[in-house]
């Protein structure tokens, strides 16, 4: 692959000041086994063959790059949608779970654990475990189990066990802690499939590589449609940052392409009810990685707020912390109601109901100076069926 | 020489280190608990800085952390409590805390404050030895504080040597690869193997030790034992009244 190590690949696990593996000695055997083997496994031709075949025939890749005519007209600028919402299971998350399950098989693991917030990553993990016939345990905050009941049912139907995380604030960060503790206690037979570009090295790098299929496709799809591989900008929402990492990957070292990372502003960046990690967060360690996170003066991790469960995470992947600190990426925060508005606009103009997470990326169009000749690529990370209840409730007030 | 190093100079075995979460069970219980442990003849007190996300800990210590935070416990208050303890006790005190809390406080400020109030050693479970040596060893080693690293049955011997070199207190031998408080199978093969390495630092065995039998076994293979979850459970059901009984159930007065 082309490009320097500036943004694309971490050096010793660090993206500039961020990343690394700040993990207890107890977790070292698990992480070290993965770290020492993931690159050679991923470079193996039989692995690549199987990965590509599953992405094509099972996930349904390549996903279309769709020119959104009416939306483009509305914004007076060219808008392309990368349709990750058309992936099997309804979001980009499955690109990563397919990759990791194949790694887990090659490491000889029979038991898979995962964390989930909204349930999207949990469903994507339960799906690939069913596909491969592996045992699957998904940790989910006790509060989220109640909030996201349909996804809990989907995971169960797919044969996964959903274990409530009862510690701390009983949400995504605690589900992640529980999964890590499970791994500490079951180092031999278990692989932990993390759902985003977060966690200790090598996860941010490994998950970015699996998701990089998104930008790999954008390259040739855009060339086919416009004669040029490079758009003016790529816009993606950032929870942990996996769909953004995937959409940016092959463009990271191409400085002419602007990267716009959209965080969840919640009720307002300074309202105390937000998930705008990079704006109100400070440097620290969360889930084994040095990054930007929301915390108190005492270093206790703060519970974020977003209307979108997939963006409701108090940290951000270390690659994104580095992209933002070095000003390679521009950050926009979008508030709850604005994201909902953008979802309704999209449904009306293009006949596509976007996930609430992706709606944040769409809403960012309102905040940018768009020129008529600009080529904007928006990563439409998921579909909105899972968010219908929220849309209906909010829609009544429109 | 700090109090911890002086202890190891004076005493070469049967060292009992008791862990308690600071600010637990009540916000102002840190001081009476430490003083009672000192009076009961405990050799080292390990104070846990309560944290919202204690990755390496099992349910018992997690719950005590959560409770302490709800009580209003903070790092600044802990420093004040330790300063008060030092007016009455010279028991070696080791702080156990997750790295993020120290980063937020500021590493130089944290070290300085530890020295000022009379902390002797540190255990930072999520600061791996490679990152410590690369970025932080020089500043910690310039202080009077003793760092102690954790090893597990899975830690390869070259890493154990590295940690032995980076440690200036003791080597914390985690008895099995599990979170704190787990019910675990103890492997004496591991204890023997580490004993034969003849490390520079004394070795204390911890995780899963809850009674006299576990303590005696640890003392057979190492310089002593660390007891955490069992003591937290004792405090949860008995309060502060009979801390001496917990200790005499583990070992006779020394
Ligand atoms: C559709 C969708 N988009 C985005 C996200 C946010 O995750 P990430 O930032 O890792 O892409 C999620 C997470 O659940 C999601 O389901």
Q: Each residue of A178-205: pLDDT tens digit?
A: 999 999 999 899 999 999 999 999 999 9
Statement: residue B246 has pLDDT above 70: yes
pLDDT recorded at residue B182:
72
Residues of B in contact with A299 (CB under 8 A): 51, 75, 98, 100-105
Task: Write down the pLDDT at residue B187.
Answer: 79
Chain B residue closest to A26 (CA)?
A: B177
Average pLDDT across chain B, whole number: 95
Which one is catalytic: A82, A93, A109, A386? A93
Nearest protein Cα to ligand 1, atom 5:
A310
pLDDT at residue B184 is higher than 80: no
* pLDDT tens per residue, range A18-74: 999 999 999 999 999 999 999 999 999 999 999 999 999 999 999 999 999 999 999
Put simply, the answer to whether B149 touches A25 (Cβ < 8 Å) is yes
A119 token code pair: 């349930």
Helix, strand, coil in percent for chain B, rounding step 5: 45, 15, 40
Would you state the pLDDT for residue A78? Answer: 98
User: Would you call A232 an interface residue with chain B, using a CB distance cutoff of 8 Å?
Assistant: no
Quote the CA–CA distance of B175 and B185 in Å, as a whole number: 8
Say what the pLDDT of residue A3 is: 39
How far does the centroid of ligand 1 lie from the alpha carbon of residue B107, in Å? 34
Query: What pLDDT sits at residue A4?
Result: 46
Instruction: Give the predicted TM-score (pTM) of the model.
Output: 0.96
Mind listing the pLDDT tens digit for each residue in A111-162?
999 999 989 999 999 999 999 999 999 999 998 998 888 999 999 999 999 9
B123-158 pLDDT tens trace: 999 999 999 999 999 999 999 999 999 999 999 999
Report the SS3 class of residue A44. coil
For residue A87, the tally of other CB atoms under 10 A from its CB is 24
Show the beta-strand stretches assigned E in B65-215: 93-96, 121-123, 146-147, 150-151, 171-174, 203-206
Q: Which two tokens stand for residue A341?
A: 């508005």
The percent of residues above 90 in pLDDT, for chain B, comes to 91
Please tell me which residue of chain B has the smallest CA distance to A23: B126
pLDDT at B188 over 90: no
A393 CB neighbour count, 10 Å cutoff = 10
pLDDT band at A397 (very low <50, low <70, confident <90, very high): low
* Collapsed DSSP state (helix, strand, coil) of residue A291: strand
Q: How far is A276 from chain B (nearest CA, A)?
A: 19
Residues found in chain B: 254
pLDDT score recorded for residue A369: 98
Which H/E stretch holds residue A133?
none
Q: Are A278 and A348 in contact (CB under 8 A)?
A: no
Cross-sheet strand order for the sheet of A135-141: A161-165, A135-141, A111-116, A190-193
Instruction: Give the H or E element holding residue B35.
Output: helix B30-39
3 state DSSP class of A262: strand
Dump pLDDT digits (tens) for A214-262: 999 999 999 999 999 999 999 999 999 999 999 999 999 999 999 999 9
Kindly determine whether residue B53 and residue A177, on different chains, have CB atoms separated by under 8 Å: yes
Whether A291 and chain B come into contact, CB under 8 Å, resolves to: no
d(CA A10, CA A356) in angstroms, rounded, equals 30
Q: What is the pLDDT of residues A377-393, one digit of tens each?
A: 999 999 999 999 999 99
Per the CB < 8 A criterion, the answer to whether A154 and A162 are in contact is no
Across the range A359-382, mean pLDDT stands at 98
To probe the interface with B, which of A10, A25, A115 has the most B CB atoms within 10 Å?
A25
| Enzyme catalytic residues of B | 46, 57
Q: Please give the distance, rounded to the nearest whole angstrom, from the Cα atom of residue B51 to the centre of ligand 1.
A: 27
pLDDT grade, residue A103 (50/70/90)? very high
Q: What is the pLDDT of residue B254?
A: 56
Q: If you measure from the C-alpha of residue B23 to the centroid of ligand 1, how many angstroms do you get, rounded to a whole number?
A: 38
Residue A202: asked if its preceding bond is cis (omega within 30°), the reply is yes
Res A1: pLDDT: 36
B199, B193 contact by CB (below 8 A): no
Alpha-carbon gap, residue B79 to A35, rounded angstroms = 38
Q: Is the pLDDT assigned to residue B170 strictly greater than 90?
A: yes
Nearest CA to CA, how far is B102 from chain A (Å)? 8
Structure ipTM: 0.94
B155 touches chain A (CB under 8 A): yes
Q: Is B181 a residue whose pLDDT tops 90?
A: no
Regarding the beta carbon of A91 and ligand 1, being less than 6 Å apart is answered yes
**pLDDT for A398 beyond 60:** no
In angstroms, rounded to a whole number, what is the distance separating the alpha carbons of residues B127 and A306? Answer: 31
The pLDDT score that the predictor gives to residue A396 is 60
- A106 or A1, greater pLDDT: A106
Give the pLDDT confidence of A328-349 residue by residue, as tens digits: 999 999 999 999 999 999 999 9
Token reading at A354: 């976007």
- Contact status of A167 with chain B (Cβ, < 8 Å): yes
> What number is the average pLDDT over the span B102-127?
98
Q: What is the mean pLDDT of residues A269-281?
A: 95
Please determine, for residue B225, whether its predicted confidence score (pLDDT) is greater than 80: yes
pLDDT in tens, B31-75: 999 999 999 999 999 999 999 999 889 899 999 999 999 999 999
Flag whether pLDDT at A5 surpasses 60.
Answer: no
> Does A11 contact B at CB distance below 8 Å?
no
Question: Which residues of chain A are within 8 Å of residue B102 when distances are taken between CB atoms?
Answer: 299
Identify the pLDDT of residue A159: 98
């Amino acid at each position: 692959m082309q490009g320097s190590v500036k943004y694309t690949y971490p050096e010793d696990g660090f993206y500039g000041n961020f990343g690394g593996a700040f993990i207890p000695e107890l977790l070292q055997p698990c992480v070290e086994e993965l770290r020492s083997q993931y690159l050679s496994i991923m470079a193996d031709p039989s692995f690549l063959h199987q990965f590509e075949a599953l992405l094509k025939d099972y996930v349904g890749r390549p996903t279309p790059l769709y020119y959104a005519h009416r939306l483009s007209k509305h914004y007076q600028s060219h808008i392309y949608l990368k349709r990750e919402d058309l992936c099997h299971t309804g979001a980009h998350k499955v690109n990563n779970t397919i990759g990791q399950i194949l790694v887990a098989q090659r490491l000889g693991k029979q038991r898979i654990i995962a964390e989930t917030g909204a349930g999207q990553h949990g469903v994507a993990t339960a799906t690939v475990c069913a596909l491969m016939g592996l045992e699957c345990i998904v940790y989910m905050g006790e509060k989220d189990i109640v909030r996201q009941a349909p996804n809990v049912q989907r995971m169960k139907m797919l044969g996964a066990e959903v274990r409530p995380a009862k510690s701390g604030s009983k949400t995504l960060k605690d589900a992640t802690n529980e999964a890590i503790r499970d791994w500490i206690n079951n180092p031999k037979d278990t692989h932990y499939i993390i759902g985003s570009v977060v966690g200790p090295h090598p996860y941010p790098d490994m998950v970015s590589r699996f998701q990089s299929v998104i930008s790999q496709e954008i390259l040739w799809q855009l060339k086919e449609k416009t004669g040029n591989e490079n758009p003016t900008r790529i816009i993606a929402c950032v929870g942990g940052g996996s769909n953004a990492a995937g959409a940016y990957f092959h463009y990271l070292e191409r400085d002419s392409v602007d990267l716009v990372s959209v965080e969840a502003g919640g009720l307002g960046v300074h309202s105390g009810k937000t998930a705008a990690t990079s704006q109100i967060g400070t440097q620290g360690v969360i889930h084994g990685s040095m990054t930007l996170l929301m915390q108190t003066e005492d270093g206790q991790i703060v519970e974020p707020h977003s209307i979108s469960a997939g963006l409701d995470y108090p940290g951000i992947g270390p690659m994104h912390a580095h992209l933002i600190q070095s000003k390679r990426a521009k950050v926009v925060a979008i508030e709850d109601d604005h994201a909902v508005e953008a979802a309704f606009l999209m449904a009306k103009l293009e006949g596509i109901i976007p996930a609430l997470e992706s709606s944040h990326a769409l809403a960012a169009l309102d905040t940018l100076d768009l020129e008529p000749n600009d080529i904007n690529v928006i990563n439409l990370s998921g579909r909105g069926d899972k968010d219908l209840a929220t849309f209906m409730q909010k829609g009544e007030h429109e | 020489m700090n109090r911890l190093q002086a202890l190891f100079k004076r005493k070469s075995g049967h060292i009992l280190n008791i862990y308690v979460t600071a600010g637990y069970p009540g916000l102002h219980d840190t001081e009476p608990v430490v003083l009672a442990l000192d009076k009961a003849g405990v050799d080292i007190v390990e104070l846990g800085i309560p944290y919202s996300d204690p990755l390496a800990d099992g349910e018992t210590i997690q719950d005590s952390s959560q409770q302490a935070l709800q009580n209003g416990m903070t790092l600044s208050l802990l420093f004040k409590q330790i300063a008060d303890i030092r007016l009455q006790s010279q028991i070696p005190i080791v702080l156990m805390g997750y790295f993020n809390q120290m980063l937020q406080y500021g590493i130089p400020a944290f070290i300085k404050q530890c020295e000022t109030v009379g902390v002797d050693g540190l255990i930072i479970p999520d600061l791996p030895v490679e990152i410590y040596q690369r970025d932080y060893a020089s500043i910690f080693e310039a202080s009077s504080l003793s760092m102690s690293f954790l090893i597990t049955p899975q830690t390869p011997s070259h890493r154990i040597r590295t940690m032995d070199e980076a440690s200036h207190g003791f080597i914390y031998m985690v008895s099995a690869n599990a979170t704190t408080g787990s019910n675990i199978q103890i492997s004496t093969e591991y204890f023997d193997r580490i004993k034969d390495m003849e490390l520079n630092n004394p070795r204390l065995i911890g995780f899963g030790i809850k009674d006299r039998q576990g303590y005696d076994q640890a003392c057979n293979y190492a310089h002593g034992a660390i007891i955490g979850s069992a003591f937290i459970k004792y405090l949860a059901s008995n309060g502060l009244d009979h801390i001496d009984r917990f200790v005499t159930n583990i070992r006779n007065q020394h």
